[in-house]
A and B are shown apart, each in its own frame.
Chain A
Amino acid sequence: MSEKPADWTTGTEAIVYQSCAACGTLQYFRRSFCVACGAPDLVEKRASGQGTVYATSLVCRAATPETRAHVPYNLVLVDTIEGFRMMAHGDHELAIGDKVTAHFAPFAGRLVPYFEKVK
């Protein structure tokens, strides 16, 4: 379980989470064990990119030249339909409760998940 996941954190256009084979708990932050029961048997799953906006903050003051080039950018927390919460970017118009879907966008030399409202 220690190898790097093929997801957006390593440059692949995917959102990946883990599901515990023993107790069914889902986790987004990658670990080699289940955070609920400690079991080592985790199944890697690819998320659909569908979810609901939980919180938003439009960042207008950034701290590095790379991120400053993007201001303002909207930071969002999204509750995915699979059942885990994740941080990402999103359209500036997003409101809490909006149904959203993810694509991927360049940000400060990386690829990051970017949510927009389901039409």
Chain B
Amino acid sequence: MSFITGVGLTAYGKHDGSSSLDLMSQAAQLAISDAGLKRGEIDGVLCGYSTVSPHIMLATVFAEHFGIKPAYAHAVQVGGATGLAMTMLAHHLVEAGIVRHVLVVSGENRLTGQSRDASILALAQVGHPDYEVPLGPTIPAYYGLVASRYMHEYSVTQEDLAEFAVLMRTHALTHPGAQFHDAITVADVMASKPVAMPLKLLDCCPVSDGGAAFVISRERTGAAGVRVRGCAQAHTHQHVTAAPALSELGAEISIARAKQASGVAISDVRYAAVYDSFTITLAMLLEDLGLAGRGEAAARVRSGHFGRDGAMPLNTHGGLLSYGHCGVGGAMAHLVETHLQMTGRAGARQVRDASVALLHGDGGVLSSHVSMFLERVR
């Protein structure tokens, strides 16, 4: 058994003058305090990576900087799925009795620490160095390719995709830490600058500075209990050229394995936290996970299903699309928000019932997937 005993999250956007280590440290202190622990009680550290400050031993660089001497520490790299992959590993580490309290942490000054071109260029390198990168692709282009095919096979329109951007922005409006606080409409998304068609600027998450952290413990440290019920991964390919058919992507495989591991059914889920690097990512993952029928996710957005007061509240902090995306920390904000919802601490954003949550992360170009169920125990 493992519990998420504390969470920490900075505002996302610009943190002028803050390094990746500064943002990691801020988030880590928030999470450790939230768990009611002293930093010396942390005996495990898992951290993500920083494209601004790459290092072959980031976990120990962080541990030294932060002032802890863990019994277990290393970095993890699974692109956008890193946060949930670290949480899954922490869950197994504490269950196996290796450590008692694992700090999972990431932070990056991706917005102010390098140029946007440098960010775009660094990320495009997930493409094949010989057969893709020489063609000048970008991450939006990889997802633009997937989007064109998904829209073709399931009759999804650009207006449908725009609904997801509007939903995430609507949610971000109620979170003071979100990068964007201006309301947008479907027409605004449609009129935004083309990036990699069919994806336009407002279909794409921003580049942000920020940090996020959690503590995963063998036993709860306070009254609130948020337990990892079960989790699983799937890795079908790295490069979009080598991706399987849309009906055979990893999200469907990882969710099936997670259901098997946890005994949880989609009908048990009350809150969803799903990776949303682009509008198409969110649309596809919702349908792959079984949170909407094929080609029906946008209709569910329009009907209010995924709103704060809907049947399946989704990314109530605003997601990557509007809370922001600082690399590994980006999708970790989804888990922080889920924890706040599950423990009744989401304030104005609080949903009625977040007793069982489904989280899903995606790395690469729908390459690596982690699905996880969390459950509140009293």
Chain A interface (Cβ within 8 Å of chain B)?
9, 28-30, 54-64, 67, 70, 72-73, 75-77, 85-89, 96-97, 107-108, 110, 112
Contact A75/B135 with A55-B148, A63-B121 known, Cβ cut-off 8 Å? yes
With A73-B136, A86-B241, A96-B152 in contact, is A61–B195 under 8 Å at CB? yes
In the complex, the answer to whether B195 meets A87 with C-beta atoms within 8 Å is no
> For A56, what are the chain B residues with a Cβ–Cβ distance below 8 Å?
145, 148
Known: A9-B134, A87-B132, A87-B135. A64 touches B148 (CB 8 A): no
Complex contacts, A57 vs chain B, CB 8 Å: 140-141, 144-145, 147-148, 196-199
Instruction: Let me know if B145 and A96 touch, CB within 8 A.
Output: no
A64 to B138, CA, bound (A): 10
Instruction: Tell me if B's interface is mostly helix, strand, loop or mixed.
Output: helix
Complex Cα distance A62/B141, Å?
Answer: 10
Known: A61-B196, A64-B117, A85-B241. A112 touches B149 (CB 8 A): no
Does A107 lie within 8 Å of B131, measured CB to CB?
A: no
Is B55's CB within 8 Å of the partner chain A?
A: no
Of chain A, the residue at the smallest CB distance from B200 is A60
Q: Which residue of A lies closest to B150 (CB)?
A: A55
The interface size bin for chain B is 20 to 34
Q: Shortest CB–CB separation between residue A31 and chain B, in angstroms? A: 11
Please determine whether B240 and A9 come into contact, CB atoms closer than 8 angstroms.
no
Complexed CA–CA distance, A96 and B196 (Å): 16
Given contacts A60-B196, A96-B149, 4 further A-B contacts (CB under 8 A): A54-B149, A63-B120, A72-B194, A108-B136
Q: How far is the CA of A56 from the CA of B146 in the complex (A)?
A: 8
Which B321-365 residues have a C-beta within 8 angstroms of A?
Answer: none
A73–B195 CA distance with the chains assembled, in angstroms: 11
Contact string against A for B residues 108-148, beta-carbon threshold 8 Å, 1 for contact and 0 otherwise:
00000000010011001000101110111110110011111
What's the minimum C-beta distance from B208 to chain A, rounded to whole angstroms?
Answer: 18
Is there contact, CB below 8 Å, between A55 and B194?
no
Asked if B242 lies at the interface with its beta carbon under 8 angstroms from chain A, I say yes
CB <8 Å contact, B135 and A107: yes
Given contacts A57-B148, A59-B141, A64-B121, contact A89 B135 (CB under 8 A): yes
Shortest distance between the CB of B136 and any CB in chain A (Å): 4
Name A's interface SS. strand
Instruction: Pick the most buried of A57, A76, A112: most chain B CB atoms within 10 A of its CB.
Output: A57
- Is B65 positioned at the interface, with any CB of A under 8 Å from its CB? no
Q: Closest CB of chain B to A94's CB: distance in Å? A: 10
Question: Is the CB–CB distance between A75 and B120 below 8 Å?
Answer: no
Q: Which residues of the partner chain B approach A76 to less than 8 Å between Cβ atoms?
A: 145
B265: min CB distance to chain A, Å: 33
Bound: A61/B201 CA distance, A: 10
In the assembled complex, the Cα of A28 lies from the Cα of B130 at a distance in Å of 11
A93 CA to B2 CA, complexed, in Å = 53
Shortest CB-to-CB span from A87 to chain B, Å, is 5
Chosen A-B contacts, 7 in total, with CB atoms closer than 8 Å, are: A55-B149, A55-B152, A57-B145, A75-B141, A76-B145, A87-B128, A89-B135
A9 to B242: give the CA distance in the assembly, Å.
17
Task: Give the distance to chain B from A42, nearest Cβ to Cβ, in Å.
Answer: 16
A28 & B197 in contact (Cβ 8 Å cutoff): no
In the assembled complex, which residues on chain B have CB atoms less than 8 Å from the CB atom of A60? 193-197
Q: Are B117 and A87 in touch, CB under 8 angstroms?
A: no
**Bound Cα distance A73, B197 (Å):** 10
Question: How far is A70 from B193 in the complex, measured between Cα atoms in Å?
Answer: 17
Q: Considering the chains assembled together, what is the distance between the CA atoms of A85 and B144 in angstroms?
A: 17
Bound Cα distance A39, B136 (Å): 33
- Name A58's contact: one of B121, B131, B194 (CB within 8 Å): B194
Identify the closest chain B residue to A72 (Cβ): B194
Least CB separation from A89: chain B residue: B135
Which residue from chain B places its CB closest to the CB of A62 in the assembled complex?
Answer: B136
Across chains A and B, which 5 residue pairs bring their CB atoms closest together, nearest first? A57-B144, A67-B136, A63-B120, A58-B197, A60-B194
A96 to B195, CA, bound (A): 19
Complex interface: chain B residues within 8 A of A70 (CB): 136
Looking across the interface, which residue of chain B has its beta carbon closest to that of A112?
B135
Shortest Cβ distance from B136 into A: residue: A67
CA distance A76 to B240 in the complex (A): 11
